[in-house]
């Protein structure tokens, strides 16, 4: 159990959490939600001990481990699969010790413990996690240092999942994942066998994976039972009651104030008026429901154009001459289209978006655009290009002036106001805005001239749940066409009515919904693994058949003798372990403990198999040695 009692934490004179208490039971799966800056990540750091509370206590049941995704993995050439295995410190140290330990009794203890930790399946389990998060099998042995930041965070996530701590804390685990990896992660976390706490703005993930929600709001934490949708309903009902109570109290307050104003000067009513004044001072006014949800925003309506807006005819596109990423694209985009692009990272979704936007020219074929077509393009990397020293008002004024030749202040502020920028916020420097505010600013910039087509490449990365909801509503109200790349399944389901699959160097309409796509990705991965295994087995068999004789012939007598000696040493070591295990299994004390006897039997069976393999290798090496010595 995780118990939080009267926790208070402040920084820089600002109180983040105040007198918060919470009890989370074992095996609960808890979503931690709240607006950006409410204190969700602070809570996690208090639980892990990275921050020290100003007051209160946080207790975890005795013997329980806490795990979190590491953000500080050093640059290293260690293979990906070893990075994951190393995260389980005890398992890794035992695996290394087993390679060097010579004391047979210590070796026996090591193998007993490795059996308890299910060490024989550890590499396979690590590989499943990495492949589920988007790595290909051939990448598992590549050095960690060869991957970029987003892929490194996937390795860190796989490492945290591999350890399987009793309490696992995940802070925005889907941030660096594509839709396919998120779908896999949803299923994995739903079946996680221990306590799980997830900070996420992904409504779909919270609905599928959690059974409780902790709402961090106004320095407090409130626990709800159920998934995110249940939390939303219960909170809405609670806020409705709160608003009614506030209105009732304000009416009573107004009535009392009116009495005081009327009779405080009259001697006969003075005592009553004085009493009412004291009662008024004591009144505990219930807070009014403040609309702290993301401000609604809207995309301006474009004039109508004749369809199609864009016709793509047999187009090849890429970045290097002669090496297209996508080939033979043949699609139309019409005025009322809502298209979501599906496909794993690296398959070419962003490349297709850039082709449609006109930022990439076709290598072959034609792209025909309507003559008056205006396109609004949003990229997740555009926030890095903003001038942090300008204000939103200054930047928008410049953009409007470049487009129209003039920029009236009232027009500029109205455009910014459509995306929740008050005069005060619009006059702050862009560098002081939050990630979500910068994203909304980009929406304002891309749509100020009423585009006919919106191209959105991962638009939700910096938006919280409420801002994502506002974006969905704005897109559904928008009268133009939309092409979207998003790892948010809820947004894709609620915005798109057409799906294009970008895979295998091409673009094809996908006939089905996201549930069908989930099944498709599972089957595609299964088939890919099956084909990879067939190819490996065939290549290994061919290589073995072609080179076996030559390999033996090229070995020198000294090499073969060394192989024989190494095999003999290993046979002797395993024989000693076998003898020790046989003695243990005959011990009545061990035999009466099912867990220990099973582990011993598993280790014993593995040693017998290894001995058989070694003895075969020893015989083959011995025969080859005799053959080389006699020169036959």
pLDDT of residue 576: 80
Closest C-alpha among 255, 369, 259, 364 to residue 311: 369
Closest C-alpha among 82, 91, 209, 95 to residue 158: 82
pTM of structure: 0.69
DSSP reduced 3-state for 461: coil
What are the pLDDT digits (tens) for 357-383?
Answer: 999 999 999 999 998 999 999 987 787
Question: What is d(CA 130, CA 449) in angstroms, rounded to the nearest whole number?
Answer: 44
What are the pLDDT digits (tens) for 419-428?
Answer: 889 899 999 9
Check whether 31 has a pLDDT greater than 70: yes
Check whether 8 has a pLDDT greater than 60: yes
Question: What is d(CA 445, CA 377) in angstroms, rounded to the nearest whole number?
Answer: 9
User: In percent, how much of the chain has pLDDT > 70?
Assistant: 89
What are the pLDDT digits (tens) for 578-597?
Answer: 877 777 766 666 555 656 66
DSSP reduced 3-state for 358: coil
What are the pLDDT digits (tens) for 41-53?
Answer: 999 999 999 999 9
What is the arithmetic mean of pLDDT over 136-150?
88
Query: CA distances (Å), 526 to each of 45, 128, 466, 532, 596, in order?
Result: 38, 12, 36, 10, 36
What are the pLDDT digits (tens) for 52-107?
Answer: 999 999 999 888 999 999 877 888 999 999 999 999 999 999 988 888 888 878 88
DSSP codes joined into one string, 523-579: HHHHHHHHHHHHHHHHHHHHHHHHHHHHHHHHS-HHHHHHHHHHHHHHHHHHHHHHH
Residue 50 per-residue DSSP state: S
Ranges 87-96, 204-213, 507-516, 581-590: which has the least confidence: 581-590
Q: What is the average pLDDT value for the chain, to the nearest integer?
A: 85
Closest C-alpha among 152, 142, 146, 181 to residue 71: 152
What are the pLDDT digits (tens) for 522-549?
Answer: 888 778 777 877 877 787 777 766 665 5
β partners of residue 23: 3
Which tokens belong to 622?
């011995």
What is the arithmetic mean of pLDDT over 549-560?
67
């Amino acid at each position: 159990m995780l118990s939080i009692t009267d926790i208070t934490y402040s920084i820089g004179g600002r109180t983040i959490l105040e007198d918060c208490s919470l009890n989370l039971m074992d095996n609960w799966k808890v979503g931690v939600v709240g607006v950006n800056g409410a204190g969700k990540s602070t809570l996690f750091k208090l639980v892990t001990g990275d921050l020290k509370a100003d007051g209160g206590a946080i207790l975890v049941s005795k013997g329980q481990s806490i795990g979190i995704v590491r953000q500080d993995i050093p640059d290293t050439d260690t293979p990906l699969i070893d990075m994951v295995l190393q995260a389980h410190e005890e398992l890794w140290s035992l695996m290394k010790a087993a390679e060097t330990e010579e004391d047979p009794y210590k070796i026996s203890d090591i193998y007993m413990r490795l059996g308890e930790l299910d060490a024989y399946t550890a590499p396979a389990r690590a590989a499943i996690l990495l492949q589920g998060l988007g790595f290909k099998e051939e990448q598992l042995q590549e050095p960690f240092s060869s991957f970029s930041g987003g892929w490194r965070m996937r390795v860190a996530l796989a490492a945290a999942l591999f350890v399987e701590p009793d309490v696992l804390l995940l802070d925005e685990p889907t941030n660096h994942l594509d839709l396919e990896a998120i779908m896999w992660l949803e299923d994995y976390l739903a079946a996680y066998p221990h306590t799980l706490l997830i900070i996420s703005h992904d409504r779909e993930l919270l609905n599928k994976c959690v059974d409780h929600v902790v709402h961090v709001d106004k320095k407090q934490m409130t626990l709800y039972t159920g998934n995110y949708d249940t939390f939303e309903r219960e909170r809405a009902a609670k806020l409705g009651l709160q608003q009614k109570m506030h209105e009732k109290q304000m009416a009573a307050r107004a009535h009392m104030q009116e009495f005081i104003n009327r009779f405080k000067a009259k001697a006969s009513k003075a005592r009553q008026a004085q009493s009412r004044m004291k009662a008024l001072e004591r009144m505990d006014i219930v807070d009014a429901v403040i609309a702290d949800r993301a401000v609604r925003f809207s995309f301006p309506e474009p004039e109508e154009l004749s369809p199609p807006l864009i016709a793509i005819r047999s187009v090849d596109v890429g970045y290097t001459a002669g090496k297209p990423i996508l080939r033979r694209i043949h699609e139309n985009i019409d005025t009322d289209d809502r298209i979501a692009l599906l496909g794993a990272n690296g398959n070419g979704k962003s490349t297709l978006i850039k082709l449609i936007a006109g930022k990439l020219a076709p290598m072959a074929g034609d792209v025909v655009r309507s003559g008056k077509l205006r396109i609004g393009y949003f990229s997740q990397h555009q926030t890095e290009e903003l001038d942090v020293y300008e204000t939103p008002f200054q930047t928008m004024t410049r953009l409007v002036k470049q487009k129209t030749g003039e920029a009236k202040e009232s027009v500029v502020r109205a455009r910014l106001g459509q995306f929740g920028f008050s005069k005060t916020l619009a006059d702050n420097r862009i560098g002081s805005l939050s990630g979500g505010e910068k994203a909304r600013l980009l929406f304002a910039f891309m749509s100020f001239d009423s585009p006919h087509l919106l191209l959105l490449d991962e638009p939700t990365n910096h938006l919280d749940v409420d801002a994502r909801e506002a974006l969905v509503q704005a897109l559904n109200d928008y009268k133009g066409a939309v092409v979207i790349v998003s790892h948010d399944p809820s947004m894709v389901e609620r915005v798109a009515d057409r799906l294009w699959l970008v895979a295998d160097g091409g673009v094809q309409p996908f006939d089905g919904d996201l549930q069908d796509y989930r099944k498709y990705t599972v089957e595609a991965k299964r088939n890919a693994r099956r084909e990879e295994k067939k190819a490996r087995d065939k290549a290994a068999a061919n290589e073995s058949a072609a080179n076996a004789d030559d390999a033996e012939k090229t070995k020198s007598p000294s090499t073969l003798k060394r192989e024989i000696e190494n095999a003999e040493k290993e046979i002797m070591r395993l024989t000693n372990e076998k003898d020790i295990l046989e003695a243990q299994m005959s011990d009545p004390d061990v035999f009466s403990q099912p867990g220990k006897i099973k582990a011993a039997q598993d280790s014993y069976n593995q040693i017998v198999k290894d001995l058989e393999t070694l003895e075969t290798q020893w015989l083959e090496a011995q025969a080859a040695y005799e053959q080389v010595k006699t020169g036959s």
